[in-house]
Amino acid sequence: MSSPTVSYIPAPKATNPAPRCSGGTHPNTPAGIALYNDQISKWHTDNGTRGPNETRPYPLSPGSSPVASDECWKCGRTGHVGPSCTQTSAPGLEVRWRMIATSIKKGALATAPQVNLVGEERQWTSKEEYDASVIAAYIADQQGKEDGPSA
C-alpha cells in the first residue's frame, strides 16, 4: 500500500520588521524633529486609536535606534536595557511598538515553521496557541501511523 501524497510548500520567510522601519529615524536636529512631528501627526490621522504593529509602525524618536535592534524600549537607544534606563522616555506608542517589533523578531527567529501544509491558512493569535496546535497535529499524525498498516 502506498502512502497518501502530501504536498508541502515552504513556510514564508521570517520577516524582520526592522528593515522596513529603520528609514523612519530622523536625525536629532531641528529639521529631523520637524519631519518626525509631521510623521507623528500623519500616523495618528491614519490610524486613529489603533495601536502600532508591523503594518503601522510608529514613528521613532529622532536620533534613536531602529526597532528590534536590542535597543532599550523606553528611550530607543542601545547600550542598556529598560530597568537601568536614565533617559527621557519615548512616547508610549513608540515604546509599545519597540516591544512588539522585538517580540515579532524573536518569534520569527525562534518559531518559524519549516513547512506548512498546503491550504493551511490558520492564523494563530499567540505562540501558546501555535504550540498547542503543532502538538495536537503531531499527536494526530502519530496516532494515524499506529492505526495504519504495519510493515
Residues near Zn ion (CB under 5 A) are 72, 74-75, 85, 87
CB 57 within 8 A of CB 20: yes
Q: Dihedral (C-alpha) 125, 131, 135, 140: value to the nearest 10 degrees?
A: 20
Toward Zn ion, which CB reaches closer, 35 or 85?
85
Q: Which residues pair with 148 in a beta bridge?
A: none
Minimum Å distance from CB 72 to Zn ion? Answer: 3
Minimum Å distance from CB 18 to Zn ion? Answer: 18
Q: Quick check: helix, strand or coil at residue 97?
A: helix
Minimum Å distance from CB 28 to Zn ion? Answer: 15
Toward Zn ion, which CB reaches closer, 2 or 84?
84
- Helix axes of 127-147 and 92-111: crossing angle, nearest 10 degrees: 20
* The length of the chain, given as a count of residues: 151
Minimum Å distance from CB 96 to Zn ion? Answer: 15
Toward Zn ion, which CB reaches closer, 59 or 76?
76
CB 117 within 8 A of CB 8: yes
Toward Zn ion, which CB reaches closer, 44 or 77?
77
Q: What is the DSSP letter of 8?
A: E
